[in-house]
């Protein structure tokens, strides 16, 4: 199925159904054609066109998509992550315009190239998280922390995210989730582990938790 048909199918599915899976997240485009937008599109949409995405829970690779999009000089914008939200009027036209610009720059398979780069970064980031979770301190922290808090009635729901650093051999893995600050439940940054990708080990851990709200 061509990229255009896949994008059109996505817009239809998000309106009609909430049966969403991360593998099904696709975007609305058709066969590229130049659209006259001189009076309606600002300069940012020409230089860094945006692709609007709707429907379903966040995909595990969305973090990487919103990093890699800058490398490809466009903006991957998640307009809504709720399957009950329908795309706003003009979404299909907007995404067709973006596709026409990106196709002119990188070819018809520009989105496939983008996703391939996303997959590569996701693989590296997943390895960094796996290395962090193999650390004894972090593994023990995860086991003892990821429990129901009876006093405040919540689960931490810990999230592990890998971040780039100025050193290509190092990644920082953050551990975030819900926690208690000032006797209130909110988002908490629990730990930050520096991972040496060459040695495949955690070389330092910043254990000072702080609120992110």
Q: Is the dihedral of CA 7, 8, 11, 15 positive or negative?
A: negative
Cα gap 127→73, rounded to integer Å: 26
pTM above 0.85, yes or no: no
Of the listed ranges 14-28, 98-112, 179-193, the one predicted with least confidence: 14-28
pLDDT 10s digits, 126-175: 999 999 999 999 999 999 999 999 999 999 999 999 999 999 999 999 99
pLDDT 10s digits, 38-80: 445 578 888 999 999 987 677 899 999 999 999 999 999 998 8
Strand partners, 175: 160, 191
The whole-number average pLDDT for the span 165-189 is: 96
Residue 140 to residues 80, 121, 178, 180, 210, Cα–Cα distance (Å): 35, 27, 18, 20, 20
The whole-number average pLDDT for the span 7-31 is: 43
Task: Enumerate residues 6+ apart whose C-beta is below 8 A from 5.
Answer: none
Contact 61, 19 (CB under 8 A): no
Q: Count of CB atoms within 10 A of residue 2's CB? A: 11
Nearest alpha carbon to residue 118 among 8, 25, 11:
25
The whole-number average pLDDT for the span 101-106 is: 96
Q: What is the mean pLDDT of the chain?
A: 85
Cα gap 143→208, rounded to integer Å: 18
């Amino acid at each position: 199925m061509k990229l255009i048909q896949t994008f059109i199918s996505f817009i239809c599915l998000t309106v009609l159904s909430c049966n969403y899976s991360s593998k099904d997240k696709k975007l609305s485009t058709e066969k590229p054609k130049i659209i006259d937008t001189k009076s309606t599109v600002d300069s940012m949409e020409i230089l860094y066109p945006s692709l609007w995405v709707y429907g379903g829970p966040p995909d595990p690779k969305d973090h990487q998509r919103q990093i890699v999009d800058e490398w490809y000089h466009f903006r991957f914008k998640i307009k809504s992550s709720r399957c009950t939200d329908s795309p706003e009027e003009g979404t299909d036209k907007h995404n067709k315009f973006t596709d026409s610009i990106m196709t002119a720059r990188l070819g018809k398979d520009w989105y496939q190239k983008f996703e391939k780069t996303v997959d590569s970064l996701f693989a590296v980031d997943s390895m960094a998280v796996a290395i962090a979770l193999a650390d004894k301190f972090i593994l023990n922290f995860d086991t003892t922390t990821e429990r129901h808090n009876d006093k405040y009635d919540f689960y931490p729901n810990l999230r592990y995210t890998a971040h780039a650093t100025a050193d290509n051999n190092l990644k920082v893995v953050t551990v975030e989730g819900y926690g208690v600050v000032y006797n209130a439940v909110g988002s908490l940054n629990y730990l930050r582990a520096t991972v040496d990708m060459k040695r495949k080990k955690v070389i330092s851990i910043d254990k000072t938790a702080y609120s992110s709200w």
